Amino acid sequence: MLPYKTLIRLNRASNVSIYVQVCNGFISLITRGTLQPADALPSSRVLSGLIGVNRNTVKLAYEELISQGWAESVERKGIFVLSKLPTVSRYKTEDLVNDPGKQTTSFTWSNPFESSPGSDNFQRSILTIDDGFPDVRLTPVDLLMREYRSLSRKFYGKNFLKYGYPKGAKSLREALCSHLADTRGLTISPEDILITKGSQMGIYLATQLLLSSQDKIAVGWSNYRSADEIFRYAGAQLVRIPVDESGMNVDVLEDILKRETIRAVYIIPHHHFPTTVTMSIDRRMKLLKLARAYHFAIIEDDYDFDFHYNNKPYIPLASIDHNHNVIYIGSVTKTFAPALRIGFLIAEQKFVDACSSLRQLIDKQGDSLLEEAFSCLYDNGEMERHFRKTIKVYQQRRDLFCEILNTSFRNILSFDIPEGGLAVWSLFNRDIDLKVLSQNALKKGLQLGDGSFYDNEVCKPNGLRLGFASLNEREITRSLELLRKII
C-alpha cells in the first residue's frame, strides 16, 4: 500500500473542505502516475485511520472522485481508479532532483525577449531616483475616486460596467478634443481618437499596422528602448539618425531617403528620450515636408507635453500636419499617475478604426468607468488645476536638483538644465561604472538605474536620466548627498 499519510497532505486551516482536499490529493496521485487505472483505493476505514480524518469524510471524497469520473465503485470489491483512464507514466520527483537535465520544455516556443532588461519595481518603499516619473503624492486621487463613486451610484452608471465602445468612452474622447485644442492647437473629432492603456500600447498598435518584416523605420541615434524593441518585434530594421541639441538631424534623414525606402519615422520632438532636447521648428517643418514627398508615416510620441517650465512649448507636429502623415501618441499616465493607464492615439479616422480593431484582439476595451471618471475631471477643470499646481512644484524641484548637481557633481557628470520634462539627462565620467554604482547605491538604500536602458547597438552614453519630479526637496537633498558619498 502507498504511504498515503505522506502523500495526501491536509491543511486544516484552509477554507477548502477536508473531503475536497482528500479528493484533490487522489486526483494528483492519478495524474502523476502514482496511481494507475484500475488500481484499488484503500477502504474508507483504512484511509481514515491513515490520514486522521472521519470515515464519513473519506466516503464523501470517494463519492466526489466517482462523480468527477476519476474512480469507480465495483460491487463487493471496493473503490478503484477508473479503468478506462489513459495510462500515465509514473512521475518520479527524485529523478529530476538527481538529474536536472531531464527537465525539458513541454512545448516548442520562441522567446524574442531573452535579452530584454527586467523592469524595476517602483512600488517598493525605498528612496529612488527614477528616470522621470510624476509625484503620485500630488495626484488628486480623492477627486478621481469621488467621480468614480458618483458615477457608480447613479442609475446610468451601471451601464459603464458593460462592454463599451472599443475606441474608449466618448465623453473622454470629447474632453480630450477640447483639451488638446486649447493646449496644443490640435483640431480633431472624437472619432480620430483611440483611448489606450498608456502611450506604449499606442506605439505597439501603430507599429503592427505600419511595419512588416524587413521594413525600415528611422529612429534616433539614442532612443526610447521600449519603442525600439516594439519595432524589432515587428521584424523591422532600425535606421539610426543622429540627435543633437536641436533634435533629430533631418538633413541626415533626407540623405538616407534618397537611397533607401523608409516606412516610418519614430520621433520624440518634445523632450526627446533620453536626452530631453526639443526639436527645432525648422527641423519639424522639414520633416513634415519629407513625409509628404516620400510618403512615410511619422509616429510622434509626445509623452510629457504638459511639463514645460521656461516658456510656452512648441505645438506638436500633429497640429501643423495638413497631409495626415502624423500618428500622434500621448499619455495622461505621465501627468497623473503611472499605474492609472490612460493614453491616446490620434490619426486619420480609418487608421484609428484599424487600430481599434487590432486592440480588440488582445483587449476588448479599456476601463470604461475609469475613463468616464477622467472625463469628469477634465470637464470640471480639476485636470487643468492639477497641471498648473504640479508644474510650479516640479519647476522648483528641477531648480534645486540642478543646483545641487552643479555644485556637488561638477567633476563627476555633465548636464544641461532641461526646459521641461521630469528628469535631467546626465552623462557620467567614463571611469564611473554605472552598473557598479547602481549595485552599491542599492546596498545603501538608494534605488538607481544602471544606464543599460539607454544603450543600443550604436550608442552607449554612460548616462542616466535622473528624475527629480517624484522627490520632494528634502528627498532630493538626501538622495543626491547619498549618491555623492557612494561615488
State the residue for C-alpha cell 472521519. Answer: 54
Q: Is residue 62 pLDDT above 90, yes or no?
A: yes
- pLDDT value, residue 121: 56
State the residue for C-alpha cell 495638413. Answer: 322
- pLDDT value, residue 364: 77
CA distances from 13 to 17, 18, 21, 73, 436 (A): 10, 10, 12, 31, 46
DSSP-derived secondary structure letter, 57: H
Cβ atoms of 301 and 199 closer than 8 Å: yes
H-helix or E-strand spanning residue 71: strand 71-74
Q: Is residue 301 pLDDT above 50, yes or no?
A: yes
- The type of residue at 80 is F
Domains, the chain, ranges and CATH? 4-81 (1.10.10.10), 127-135+385-486 (3.90.1150.10), 153-380 (3.40.640.10)
pLDDT tens, position by position, 108-121? 777 777 766 655 65
Residue 138: Cβ-neighbour burial (10 angstroms; 0-12, 13-18, 19+) = middle
Q: State the number of CA atoms in the 13 A half-sphere of 390 facing the CB.
A: 29
Cβ atoms of 376 and 383 closer than 8 Å: no
Q: Is residue 80 pLDDT above 50, yes or no?
A: yes
pLDDT tier at 124, thresholds 50, 70, 90: low
Percentage of residues in the chain having pLDDT higher than 70? 93
CA–CA separation, 436 and 151 (whole Å)? 50
CA–CA separation, 332 and 197 (whole Å)? 9
Mean per-residue pLDDT of the chain: 90
DSSP-derived secondary structure letter, 2: -
DSSP-derived secondary structure letter, 161: G
Q: Is residue 481 pLDDT above 80, yes or no?
A: yes
Tell me the mean pLDDT in the region 353-381: 88
For every residue of 171-193, DSSP letters joined together read HHHHHHHHHHHHHH-----GGGE
Beta bridge partners of 447: 128
CA distances from 11 to 14, 19, 25, 306, 438 (A): 5, 11, 12, 54, 43
- pLDDT value, residue 425: 97
pLDDT tier at 93, thresholds 50, 70, 90: very low
- pLDDT value, residue 97: 41
Residue 69: Cβ-neighbour burial (10 angstroms; 0-12, 13-18, 19+) = exposed
* Closest-CA residue to 192 (of 173, 210, 205, 164): 173
Residue 317: Cβ-neighbour burial (10 angstroms; 0-12, 13-18, 19+) = buried
* Closest-CA residue to 379 (of 146, 175, 110): 175
pLDDT tens, position by position, 163-177? 678 899 999 999 999
CA distances from 368 to 181, 221, 291 (A): 23, 39, 36
Tell me the mean pLDDT in the region 442-454: 94
CA–CA separation, 158 and 144 (whole Å)? 17
- pLDDT value, residue 292: 97
pLDDT tens, position by position, 264-283? 999 999 999 999 999 999 99
Cβ atoms of 173 and 190 closer than 8 Å: yes
Beta bridge partners of 81: 71
CA–CA separation, 477 and 201 (whole Å)? 36
Tell me the mean pLDDT in the region 128-142: 90
Dihedral, 231, 234, 238, 241 alpha carbons, nearest 10: -40
Cβ atoms of 214 and 262 closer than 8 Å: no
- The type of residue at 196 is T
CA–CA separation, 448 and 461 (whole Å)? 16
* Closest-CA residue to 423 (of 448, 459, 458): 448
Which sign, positive or negative, has the C-alpha torsion 153, 156, 157, 163? Answer: positive
Beta bridge partners of 266: 299
**Alpha helix positions (H), 280-348:** 281-294
Q: Is residue 4 pLDDT above 50, yes or no?
A: yes
If DSSP codes are grouped into helix, strand and coil, which group holds residue 335?
coil
Q: Is residue 340 pLDDT above 90, yes or no?
A: no
The angle at the Cα of 485, spanning 479 to 487, to the nearest 5 degrees, equals 100
CA distances from 189 to 174, 177, 295, 372 (A): 8, 6, 24, 18
Tell me the mean pLDDT in the region 322-345: 88
| Residues in Cβ contact with 302 at an 8 Å cutoff, skipping those fewer than 6 apart | 268, 269, 270, 316, 318, 328, 329, 330
Out of 98-112, 165-179, 401-415, which region has the weakest mean confidence (pLDDT)? 98-112
- pLDDT value, residue 157: 62
* Closest-CA residue to 51 (of 206, 43, 479): 43
pLDDT tier at 151, thresholds 50, 70, 90: confident
Length of the chain: 487
- The type of residue at 160 is F
- pLDDT value, residue 139: 87
Distance of CA 343 to the CA centre of its chain: 12
